[in-house]
């Protein structure tokens, strides 16, 4: 049933591979827990089993966000079973997720971003690729999974935009700034062909084997350049996405426009960046006002 559910999410909902893997992992762990308690059929499981499992996760020291994600996976799965007529009632009804602390995303200052973007060596094929990736990521705020999924055909240098596919395979068009356009153009004209080793499958960013660069590969790249730029903050592949949104809002961008560019389905997700800007303004005030 879990396999059927995952196929349903992939085919009918169009969820990304990483999201599907997360659902599968959560549900397999839950199924293993049910078996240990003697429950071997989904129809035998009930609210008590779910509460016990969530309590088990908390006792193991899992973060509230992890427990909430597991409950969301379990709830979606039971809804699938209800839809297929395999259950008579929803055992997750009125079950509340644990409250999670909304941590503000870590962002770079504009000066730190400038140092990071200047770090790649611009004369080698890999240096041209790395500079183009960092410039495009900061210029657009797209997710790293969206960045590495880009094909050459998704980039329109003449019109100054790229096309990417976000969660649920939703397509969106994001504008590119002049610096990103210049870096991408240099990579396409002087770098990509040197990285290509075999048949051209159309991937925009290639690794040294000539295949599509992975998220893990990009993680290593951004860590390397953060060290080269002397940035002390912990960097993640999402750091430039967070910085993109924060810097736009700090400079007066409309929240709805930022939501559209980030590909957020709900504006409440985008609003976390308004808290970041408020926090930074308060920090500036406390450091600079003579009577603060």
Q: One of 30, 53, 138, 273 is an active-site residue; which one?
A: 273
Q: One of 129, 131, 241, 247 is an active-site residue; which one?
A: 241
Is 79 annotated as catalytic? no
Is 94 annotated as catalytic? no
Structure tokens at 3: 């396999």
DSSP-assigned states of every residue in 230-277: T--SPP-TTHHHHHHHHHHHHTT--HHHHHHHHT-SSHHHHTHHHHHH
Q: One of 143, 192, 242, 247 is an active-site residue; which one?
A: 143
What distances in angstroms separate CA 252 from CA 138, 255, 259, 277, one per listed residue?
17, 9, 14, 11
* DSSP state, residue 96: P
Residue (of 198, 205, 116) closest to 154 by Cα position:
205
Is 233 annotated as catalytic? no
Q: One of 167, 194, 211, 212 is an active-site residue; which one?
A: 167
Is 247 annotated as catalytic? no
State the Cα–Cα distance between residues 35 and 33, nearest whole angstrom: 5
Is 241 annotated as catalytic? yes
Percent helix / strand / coil, the chain, rounded to 5: 60, 5, 35
Q: One of 172, 194, 215, 238 is an active-site residue; which one?
A: 238
Q: One of 49, 69, 264, 280 is an active-site residue; which one?
A: 264
Is 273 annotated as catalytic? yes
What are the residue numbers of the active site? 143, 167, 238, 241, 264, 273
């Amino acid at each position: 049933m879990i396999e059927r559910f995952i196929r349903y999410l992939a085919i009918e909902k169009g969820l990304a591979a990483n999201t599907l893997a997360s659902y599968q992992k959560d549900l397999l762990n839950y199924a293993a827990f049910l078996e240990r308690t003697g429950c071997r059929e989904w129809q035998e499981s009930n609210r008590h089993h779910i509460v016990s499992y969530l309590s088990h996760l908390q006792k193991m020291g899992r973060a509230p966000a992890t427990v909430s994600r597991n409950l969301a996976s379990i709830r979606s799965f039971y809804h699938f079973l209800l839809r297929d007529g395999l259950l008579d009632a929803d055992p997750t009804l009125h079950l509340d997720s644990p409250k999670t602390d909304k941590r503000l995303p870590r962002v770079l200052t504009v000066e730190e971003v400038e140092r990071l973007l200047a770090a790649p060596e611009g004369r080698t094929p890999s240096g041209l690729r790395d500079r183009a990736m960092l410039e495009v990521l900061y210029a657009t705020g797209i997710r790293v999974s969206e960045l590495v999924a880009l094909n050459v055909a998704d980039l329109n240098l003449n019109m100054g935009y790229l096309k990417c596919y976000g969660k649920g395979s939703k397509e969106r068009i994001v504008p590119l700034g002049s610096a990103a356009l210049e870096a991408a153009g240099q990579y396409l004209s002087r770098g990509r062909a040197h990285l290509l080793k075999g048949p051209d499958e159309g991937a925009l960013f290639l690794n040294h084997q000539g295949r599509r660069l992975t998220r893990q590969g990009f993680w290593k790249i951004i860590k390397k350049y953060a060290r080269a730029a002397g940035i002390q903050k912990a960097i993640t592949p999402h750091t430039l996405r967070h910085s993109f949104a924060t810097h736009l809002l700090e400079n007066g961008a409309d929240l709805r426009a930022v939501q559209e560019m980030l590909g957020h389905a709900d504006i409440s997700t985008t609003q976390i960046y308004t808290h970041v800007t408020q926090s930074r303004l308060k920090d500036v005030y406390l450091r600079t006002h003579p009577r603060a």
